């Protein structure tokens, strides 16, 4: 293949990073742009790097691989980790593949092939909707939404929390209209006043949903899962 996937490698353990690099060098479809053993250093340089794919560990000091992947928009991600427990979370954020260590060349090759297929296939699905806000019209991209709630100032309006921590106030829009526009597999109504993005969920039980998002008091946002919407929600997040 003439086209190659430009790739970043991330693992906080240097032996693991060296081994991963050695495997990638044996795969013709991959061009290694840079390797990192610190997620924060990768984030500091990311705006200056041209790449298509990130192959990353998950459990790392500082920022874990799942949070890092959510911060990198429109890039392919393959996770390589020693833990099986994060698989559901990985696929909720649309990871290409999830490989458990020790990584074998054949398994990595299979994951790279999946990434290449997705990279080569143009996306035809709708990625945003146009809505009115209190500051004018906006293009609201689905992958930027964490949750939507009824606005405090006016119940006809809706407040959207975005992945960068900012919020938008949508004017005079109903939840039913939003749900018809949002990708069905990625969003779920959880009570009369809130819709949540599945990828934003960190923990949940039959009564509560805890998000990755941190409030000003440094505590995770916690939402109520009402009985009315519980069954639909549990079906949606079932692995």
The string of DSSP codes covering 108-126 is HHHHHHHHHHHHHSPP-S-
- The pLDDT, as a whole number, for residue 123 is 57
- The pLDDT, as a whole number, for residue 15 is 95
Ordered domains of the chain (ranges, CATH): 5-120 (3.40.50.2300), 128-237 (2.40.50.1020)
Q: ∠ at Cα 211 (205, 216), nearest 5°?
A: 130
- The pLDDT, as a whole number, for residue 1 is 46
- The pLDDT, as a whole number, for residue 239 is 47
> Helices in 151-220 by DSSP H: which ranges?
175-181
- The pLDDT, as a whole number, for residue 12 is 95
Q: What is the pLDDT of residues 103-131, one digit of tens each?
A: 999 999 999 998 998 888 755 567 888 99
- The pLDDT, as a whole number, for residue 107 is 94
- The pLDDT, as a whole number, for residue 119 is 87
Read off the tokens for 67.
């949070």
- For the full predicted model, state whether its pTM sits above 0.85: no
Asked whether 202 and 210 are in contact (CB, 8 A), the reply is yes
Low pLDDT (below 70) residues in the chain: 1-2, 122-125, 238-239
**Residue 236 to residue 105: CA distance in whole angstroms:** 34
């Amino acid at each position: 293949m003439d086209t190659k996937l430009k790739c970043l490698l991330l693992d906080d353990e240097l032996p693991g990073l060296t081994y991963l690099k050695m495997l990638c060098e044996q795969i013709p479809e991959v061009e290694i742009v840079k390797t990192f053993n610190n997620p924060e250093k990768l984030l500091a340089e990311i705006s200056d790097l041209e790449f298509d794919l990130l192959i990353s560990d998950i459990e790392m000091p500082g920022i874990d691989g799942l949070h890092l992947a959510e911060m990198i928009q429109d890039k392919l991600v393959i996770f390589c980790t020693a833990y099986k427990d994060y698989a559901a979370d990985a696929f909720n954020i649309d990871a290409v593949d999830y490989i458990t260590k020790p990584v074998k060349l054949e398994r990595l090759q299979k994951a790279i092939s999946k990434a290449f297929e997705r990279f080569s296939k143009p996306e035809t699905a709708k990625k945003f909707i146009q809505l009115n806000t209190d500051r004018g019209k906006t293009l609201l991209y689905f992958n930027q939404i964490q949750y939507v709630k009824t606005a405090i100032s006016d119940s006809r309006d809706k407040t959207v929390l975005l992945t960068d921590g900012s919020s938008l106030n949508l004017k005079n829009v109903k939840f039913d209209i939003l749900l018809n526009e949002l990708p069905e597999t990625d969003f779920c109504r959880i009570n009369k006043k809130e819709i949540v993005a599945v990828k934003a969920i960190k923990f949940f039980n039959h009564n509560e949903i805890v998000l990755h998002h941190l409030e000003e008091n440094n505590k995770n946002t916690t939402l109520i899962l009402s009985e009315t919407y519980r069954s639909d929600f549990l079906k949606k997040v079932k692995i």
